[in-house]
Amino acid sequence: MSSNPDDRFDWDAAEAEVFDLDAARQARTADDTDDTDGGPVLVDSPEAQKAPRFTMAGLRAGQRRPILPAWLRSRDELRDAVRWTVGHATHSTGYHLLRLPKYAGKLAVRSPRGVYRVTRATVRWLFDLEGEQVRQATVRREDAEEYLKLSRQRDRRVRWRGIVATFGTAVMLAGGISLVFAPSWSRWGILALAVTLFGMIGQPADKPLLDTAVVVPRVARLTSEIVIRALSVLGNSGINQALRKQGNRAIAFTAPITRDGPGWRAELDLPPGVTAGDIAEERERLASGLTRPLGCVWPEGRPEVHPGRLVLWVGDQDMAAAPLKAWPLVKAASFDVAKPLPFGTDPRGRTVSIELPYTNILIGSIPGYGKTGAIGVPLFAASLDPYAEIWAFDFKGTGGLDPLAKVAARFASGQDDETAEAGLLALRELRKECQRRAAVIKGLPKTVCPDNKVTPELARRKGLGLHWLVVGLDEIQELFSHPEFGKEAGELAEKIIKLGRALGVILLLATQRPDAKSLPTGVSANAGTRFCLKVMGQTENDMVLGTSAYKNGIRATMFAKKDKGVGYLVGTADDAQIVRTFYINGPTAERITDRARALREAAGTLTGHAAGQAAETPAARRDTLLDDVLSVVPADEPKVWAETLVERLSGLRPDAYGDLTADQLRATLKPYGITTGQVWGTDPVTGRGANRRGIERVDVVNAVAERNKRRGDKAA
């Protein structure tokens, strides 16, 4: 009886067809041993194994290669190429012209040997001496018939060669005699020609006539074997396993290795599971595997294709050792902020530009790698636009931005509380300025301002106050992590960075501590352009370059000690670019800002700090405010209304507090952690008790203690 409830099932037939596992295993092993190259067993359907068919859709999706080479499409590159060619030709010509006497001497010394070589060759030809050995051999063999044949041939040859030689000698003699009557310059000319000719013929094989004007360094070619060898020494288990299993086929080159600018470019697919980021992280080992200087080896990912696609560019010259290109604006008479701004060069030496309008720039790195240099480039460029307003703050006071003091409407530099406070006040102003600009834009007709944002035309229109406002904040971590002003500054910066873009306000922030405490995420997340010089870890990398940048292989951790001013630039092109910023040294910066100041004076746009107007700062008031509060609120009065406090303060020092309002007082006390709440008090006019906004004295006492401690720490 069958245990199967389905009686219709044919068990006999099924047993006959049972799959013989052992037989199958044997067959499989046999197949495997047949597979001589040890490749994987194909499990795809025959359909999937077919080569992809040509389709119109595929052709349409194809990527068109540019018709003209890159150096012909870019005016800069064309200019560079022409300049190089002319320079090269001039140098070579000058070098050889100077050595002409030496070359003439060499030719003269070598010409007797040349005469000897020519005479010997002529005699050998005339008497058919090259056949002499064969004729001697027939004599030794006593082969009379062969000897006769060869002798006849020799006689024939010598006869007609003799005629030719006699004729030639006659022509030369005639020429020689006619030279006696020829002008002397032609005699010298013929002599020079003869010396040159015989000198060249007499040249030893290993000693060329001309010296070497340009020594071209020999750069080894980049081949697929070299790339594979370099990848195999990285110690990456994924690569090593794949190479063991599949040999060189494990690395699939998706395009031929070609010359690309002054270097080689290889594009390849890494074995499954290995990402371009893994390779970028091992850049130093990769350079060792390629036996090239580190500054020549630039691995990049193409995450838009897939994470395992690697583009390896190997330059002929170390980027850090290559001569720095001069900043194109060094001698520019002026600059328009709305135009592309030359920011740096890529490893191929091409200029990379950024656009300032409608973006904010965040720059980050560990100290000493070129942050100030990088933030300086857009600031100095903007200073050359007399209609752009510059605000510049350096919260560490290293002095890199000091040349801007003569053009900036607001400027402060230093590591003290005053500079931090000036920064905070500037941000408050900037927030108000954003609100004002938003209102102006709202009031403009759609025909003038179709996208509700400042256009280059609006920025130039006088009276609207919508000019570009470029605000550079260097070492911003000092402000954002300031115990008194940091929190408010962070909140303001976050609002400004979100709002300002369309309002012509461009924030440039540089920090050496890109972590959540020193750089509010609301700020870092809203920067459109990011430039990351060397950082130490994934967190800082992603904070500056954006979430997932590290995972996608864009790793500023790969930069080495020598890579000063070199970083990843994100947000200006489709892909992240490696850029070395132009370097503007102190004296150059001074010259630029001198020119910028003259431009502003001529345009009548020199304002604020640069025009000698000190920015309004309540620093003096702040300094004494806490102490003044304590002196007008006796110790036995634990709480006081804000309005009462304002009255007492203005009574105490009318010059300092005469115009102080309760709201202003609340805002000024807030950074000290003193907040206002409902407090019970008595109205001095009506004598009635009520709950109104006020402060607690103990908060002020605590704030003073905190401040004194901080000042003590700093003084220490």
Q: Is 106 annotated as a binding residue?
A: no
Task: Quickly list H helices, 341-416.
Answer: 371-383
Cα 430 from Cα 501, distance rounded (Å): 12
Residue 513 touches ligand ATP, criterion: CB under 6 A: no
Q: Is 365 annotated as a binding residue?
A: yes
Give the number of residues written for the chain. Answer: 716
Burial class (CB in 10 A: 0-12, 13-18, 19+), 503: buried
- Give whichever of 343 and 641 is closer to ligand ATP, judged by the CB atom: 343
- Give whichever of 319 and 679 is closer to ligand ATP, judged by the CB atom: 319
178 phi-psi bin (left φ>0, alpha ψ -120 to 50, beta other): alpha
Q: CB 440 → ligand ATP: shortest distance, Å?
A: 36
188 to each of 180, 195, 287, how far by Cα in Å? 12, 10, 59
Q: CB 580 → ligand ATP: shortest distance, Å?
A: 5
Task: Please report how many Cα atoms fall inside a 13 Å half-sphere around the Cα of residue 299, on the Cβ side.
Answer: 30
Report the site for ligand ATP in 453-512 (rule: CB under 6 A).
Answer: 512
Q: Which residue has the tokens 């194994």?
A: 49
Q: CB 367 → ligand ATP: shortest distance, Å?
A: 4
Burial class (CB in 10 A: 0-12, 13-18, 19+), 494: middle
- Give whichever of 411 and 641 is closer to ligand ATP, judged by the CB atom: 411
502 phi-psi bin (left φ>0, alpha ψ -120 to 50, beta other): alpha
- Give whichever of 370 and 500 is closer to ligand ATP, judged by the CB atom: 370
Span from 432-440, 522-530, 577-585, 648-656 in contact with ligand ATP (CB under 6 A):
577-585
- Give whichever of 289 and 349 is closer to ligand ATP, judged by the CB atom: 349
Q: Is 371 annotated as a binding residue?
A: yes
133 to each of 21, 150, 399, 530, how far by Cα in Å? 81, 11, 88, 82
Cα 442 from Cα 422, distance rounded (Å): 30
Residue 583 touches ligand ATP, criterion: CB under 6 A: yes
- Give whichever of 512 and 644 is closer to ligand ATP, judged by the CB atom: 512
> Using the rule CB under 6 A, which residue among 342, 373, 490, 567 binds ligand ATP?
373
Does residue 279 sit in helix, strand or coil? Answer: helix
- Give whichever of 386 and 400 is closer to ligand ATP, judged by the CB atom: 400
Span from 91-99, 253-261, 461-469, 576-584 in contact with ligand ATP (CB under 6 A):
576-584
Cα 510 from Cα 532, distance rounded (Å): 10
Which residue type, as a one-letter code, is found at position 198? Answer: F
Burial class (CB in 10 A: 0-12, 13-18, 19+), 2: exposed
- Give whichever of 202 and 400 is closer to ligand ATP, judged by the CB atom: 400
Closest alpha carbon to 302 in 539, 508, 529, 576: 576
Residue 564 touches ligand ATP, criterion: CB under 6 A: yes
Cα 227 from Cα 234, distance rounded (Å): 11
- Give whichever of 315 and 400 is closer to ligand ATP, judged by the CB atom: 400
Residue 581 touches ligand ATP, criterion: CB under 6 A: yes
- Give whichever of 198 and 582 is closer to ligand ATP, judged by the CB atom: 582
Residue 565 touches ligand ATP, criterion: CB under 6 A: yes
Residue 541 touches ligand ATP, criterion: CB under 6 A: no
Residue 371 touches ligand ATP, criterion: CB under 6 A: yes
Decide the pairing of beta strands 689-696 and 677-682. antiparallel
Residue 567 touches ligand ATP, criterion: CB under 6 A: no
Report the site for ligand ATP in 336-365 (rule: CB under 6 A).
Answer: 365
Closest alpha carbon to 390 in 376, 372, 400: 376
Q: Which residue has the tokens 């609006």?
A: 458
Q: Is 583 annotated as a binding residue?
A: no
Tell me the residue nearest to ligand ATP as measured from the CB: 565
Residue 368 touches ligand ATP, criterion: CB under 6 A: yes
Q: CB 584 → ligand ATP: shortest distance, Å?
A: 9
Q: How many residues bind ligand ATP (CB under 6 A)?
A: 17
- Give whichever of 557 and 702 is closer to ligand ATP, judged by the CB atom: 557
Q: Is 367 annotated as a binding residue?
A: yes
Q: Which helix (H) or strand (E) holds 393?
A: strand 389-394
Cα 446 from Cα 424, distance rounded (Å): 35
- Give whichever of 369 and 641 is closer to ligand ATP, judged by the CB atom: 369
DSSP state of 83: H
Report the site for ligand ATP in 222-251 (rule: CB under 6 A).
Answer: none
Residue 367 touches ligand ATP, criterion: CB under 6 A: yes
Q: Mask: binding to ligand ATP, 132-171, rule CB under 6 A, as x and -? A: ----------------------------------------
Closest alpha carbon to 569 in 395, 313, 380, 378: 378
CB-CB contact of 345 with 577 (8 Å): no
- Give whichever of 371 and 406 is closer to ligand ATP, judged by the CB atom: 371
Q: Which two tokens stand for residue 538?
A: 């994934």
Residue 370 touches ligand ATP, criterion: CB under 6 A: yes
Q: Which two tokens stand for residue 543?
A: 């904070």
Q: CB 395 → ligand ATP: shortest distance, Å?
A: 11
Residue 288 CB neighbour total at 10 angstroms:
15
396 to each of 399, 421, 593, how far by Cα in Å? 8, 13, 21
Report the site for ligand ATP in 309-338 (rule: CB under 6 A).
Answer: 324
Span from 207-215, 303-311, 408-416, 580-588 in contact with ligand ATP (CB under 6 A):
580-588
Rg (CA), the chain: 42
Q: Mask: binding to ligand ATP, 390-409, rule CB under 6 A, as x and -? A: --------x-x---------
In degrees to the nearest 10, what's the CA dihedral of 249, 251, 255, 257?
Answer: -100
> Using the rule CB under 6 A, which residue among 111, 372, 413, 529 binds ligand ATP?
372
Q: CB 564 → ligand ATP: shortest distance, Å?
A: 4
Q: CB 592 → ligand ATP: shortest distance, Å?
A: 16
Q: CB 344 → ligand ATP: shortest distance, Å?
A: 7
Q: Is 119 annotated as a binding residue?
A: no
Q: Which two tokens stand for residue 517?
A: 């405490």
- Strand blocks (E) in 480-528: 505-511
Q: Give the residue numbers of the binding site.
A: 365-372
Q: Give the residue numbers of the binding site for ATP.
A: 365-372
By the criterion CB under 6 A, which residues form the site for ligand ATP? 324, 365, 367-373, 398, 400, 512, 564-565, 580-581, 583
